[in-house]
């Protein structure tokens, strides 16, 4: 009898614990948005004082004017119950002084605003920054000019992105002016926007993509990909992954070889790991054959720039091969589009996985790494309107295609030795058509910065609804994503996932990860069908909660939007 009672109590306790592990979802009312054409609401950050969001918008009255200015911004602060504490408009012609906001970073009691402006006629642009008090939403500083750039030709590409360093000690601003001889600059800025590090390096044309920048003491490590000219169908071909380090005075110290033991890196990201830097990436054994073979995790000593220790793991074809079924609602159209864009893709580069997140295991000195299959393709067309091409309107039409595939989770110890590897099958395909008119003072293209590669992912505006976001609280770790409703039981490498193209009809799931075994458990959260679609990638974490926006776009009208919180208990 005593044994039976003990078993009953144990099973009851397990049931209660399981229920406590279920995330709690809360929705706000539809958010107040400007009455003009808008982009989506974006979560800047969240802390004990509230959740902060921004939303860019364009006044309908100036859409067809010749000198189109930048985008205005609505800045909002919400309490824990999603009640607004303030909703403040920063007009482009007034407070922003014809700038478009690129990013807002929450740090301590301030919101740091980074913005840009570009004059198409003069082919000249400027990057600036200012400070806003997070409690009042009011600007407390004038605009600080961070740098100027000038294009040789109107069609030259200028890319820029800014983020906070891993130790929150400085901002990292990366810029790339892609011309016949492209110039890249990495600038480290303190909280007063003073430069505490400045690095310049050149590459010919579009032969370099920046992927990662990590600061360690007075050392700066930069990772990227080199390309070389290809055949007529492809503008460039992948050559190799490169890694080098500079000191904060801008002096180059080392070219660090990434190839090791006959393994050739195809992608690389950098993460701080105690007093070392972790190199995490994927490799091929046969460069040029476009065949992915496995992943590697190495650590380097920041002082010497040398690889200390590490590990590599070969991946089976079942883990990195095709893991999805072609039975989505738009099957024929999506298959046709995929084949067309693969043929049109400018880069002769194998489809690849990229490490995106590094989460510490609170019970050990281990790290949990997440990687995602990513493929990005852009189609574009350009036309000049009016008799005077130099001063008239120009029309740009762009189609962005994002494929976000399988998620690979990896556990490593403090010596970068791999404990386990697991994969969750998924296939999200998002196609976005964007038309843009630019006049004499056109706003910059804030949708993407392809030449800044993985570095710009944290601030890139696209894709909207694909990819995922991690959330950790105590011993719990998982991620939130939108997926096909038919994938509710997909939890292992042996399962076939249904491809999702129409993300407006997707379901939102929480995927729990057992940090000891690597096993996935999937839980349904809510349906996006008929509602504003959740945007997990743009969420921000505060304590045990993920705050993320949701939006339903409307043609030439403000979108329906709301906030969603997913809390671990």
In a domain, 205, yes or no: yes
Phi/psi for 392 (5° steps) reads -80, -175
pLDDT given at position 1: 44
In a domain, 356, yes or no: yes
pLDDT given at position 200: 94
pLDDT given at position 90: 95
Among 545, 561, 559, 412, residue whose Cα is nearest residue 480: 545
In a domain, 119, yes or no: no
First to last CA, the chain: 34
pLDDT given at position 337: 63
Are 209 and 451 spatial neighbours (Cβ–Cβ below 8 Å)?
yes
Place of tokens 């040029």: 288
Which residues of the chain register pLDDT less than 70?
A: 1-21, 33-38, 59-70, 232-234, 290, 321-351, 379-397, 434-460, 555-557
In a domain, 48, yes or no: no
Q: Which domain holds residue 309?
A: 177-538
pLDDT given at position 204: 87
pLDDT given at position 315: 92
In a domain, 133, yes or no: no
Residues whose CB falls within 8 Å of the CB of residue 37, separated by 6 or more in sequence, listed in order: 57, 58, 59, 60, 63, 556, 557, 558
CA distances from 459 to 60, 312, 456 (A): 26, 30, 6
Rounded Cα–Cα distance for residues 228 and 558 (Å): 44
- Number of other CB atoms surrounding residue 427 within 10 Å: 25
Q: What is the pTM of this model?
A: 0.87
Phi/psi for 4 (5° steps) reads -60, -45
In a domain, 83, yes or no: no
In a domain, 553, yes or no: no
In a domain, 517, yes or no: yes
H or E segment to which residue 433 belongs? strand 428-438
24 is written with which tokens?
């709690």
Helices (H), strands (E): how many in the chain? 3, 38
pLDDT given at position 67: 40
CA distances from 302 to 167, 254, 513 (A): 15, 11, 31
Query: How many structural domains compose the chain?
Result: 1
What residues form DSSP beta bridges with 520?
513
Among 561, 399, 362, 566, residue whose Cα is nearest residue 468: 566
């Amino acid at each position: 009898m005593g044994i039976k009672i003990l078993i009953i109590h144990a099973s009851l306790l397990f049931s209660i614990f399981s229920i406590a592990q279920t995330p709690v979802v809360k929705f706000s009312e539809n958010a107040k948005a400007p009455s003009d054409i808008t982009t989506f609401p974006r979560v800047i950050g969240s802390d004990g004082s509230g959740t902060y969001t921004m939303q860019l918008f364009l006044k309908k009255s100036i859409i067809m004017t010749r000198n189109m200015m930048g985008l205005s911004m609505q800045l909002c602060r919400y309490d824990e119950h999603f009640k607004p504490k303030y909703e403040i408009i920063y007009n482009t012609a007034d407070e922003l002084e014809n700038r478009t906001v690129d990013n807002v970073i929450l740090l301590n009691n301030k919101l740091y605003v980074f913005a840009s402006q570009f004059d198409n006629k003069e082919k000249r642009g400027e990057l600036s920054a200012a400070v806003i008090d997070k409690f009042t939403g009011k600007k407390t500083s004038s605009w600080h000019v961070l740098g100027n750039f000038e294009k040789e030709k109107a069609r030259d590409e200028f890319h820029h992105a800014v983020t906070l360093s891993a130790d929150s000690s400085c901002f990292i601003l990366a810029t790339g002016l892609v011309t016949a001889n492209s110039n890249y600059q990495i600038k480290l800025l303190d909280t007063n926007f003073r430069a505490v590090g400045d690095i310049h390096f050149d590459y010919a044309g579009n032969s370099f993509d920046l992927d990662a920048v990590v600061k360690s003491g007075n050392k700066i490590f930069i990772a990227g990909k080199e390309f070389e000219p290809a055949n007529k169908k492809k503008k460039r071909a992948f050559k190799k992954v490169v890694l080098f380090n500079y000191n904060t005075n801008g002096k180059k110290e080392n070219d660090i070889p990434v190839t090791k033991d006959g393994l050739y890196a195809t992608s690389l990201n950098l993460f701080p790991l105690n007093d070392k830097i972790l190199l995490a990436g994927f490799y091929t054994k046969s460069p040029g054959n476009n065949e992915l073979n496995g992943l590697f995790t190495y650590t380097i000593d920041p002082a010497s720039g040398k690889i200390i220790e590490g590990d590599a793991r070969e991946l089976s074809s079942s883990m990195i091969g095709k893991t999805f079924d072609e039975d989505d609602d738009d099957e024929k159209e999506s298959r046709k589009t995929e084949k067309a864009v693969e043929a049109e893709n400018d880069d002769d580069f194998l489809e690849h996985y990229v490490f995106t997140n590094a989460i510490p295991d609170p019970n050990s000195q281990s790290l949990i790494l997440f990687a995602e299959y990513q493929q990005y393709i852009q189609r574009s067309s350009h036309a000049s309107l009016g008799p005077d091409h130099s001063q008239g309107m120009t029309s740009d039409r762009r189609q962005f295609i994002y494929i976000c595939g399988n998620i690979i989770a990896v556990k490593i110890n403090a010596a970068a030795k791999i404990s386990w590897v697991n994969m969750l099958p998924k296939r999200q395909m998002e196609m976005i058509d964007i038309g843009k008119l630019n006049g004499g003072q056109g706003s910059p293209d804030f949708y993407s910065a392809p030449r800044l590669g993985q570095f710009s992912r944290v601030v890139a505006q696209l894709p909207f609804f694909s990819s995922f976001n991690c959330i950790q609280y105590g011993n719990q770790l998982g991620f939130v994503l939108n997926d096909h409703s038919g994938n509710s039981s997909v939890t292992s490498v042996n399962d076939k996932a249904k491809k999702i193209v129409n993300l407006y009809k997707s379901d939102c799931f929480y995927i729990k990860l057992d940090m000891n075994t690597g096993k996935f458990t999937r839980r349904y959260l809510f349906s996006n069908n008929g509602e504003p679609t959740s945007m997990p990638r743009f969420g921000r974490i505060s304590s045990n909660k993920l705050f993320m926006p949701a939006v339903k776009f409307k043609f030439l009208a403000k979108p329906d939007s709301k906030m969603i919180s997913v809390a671990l208990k």
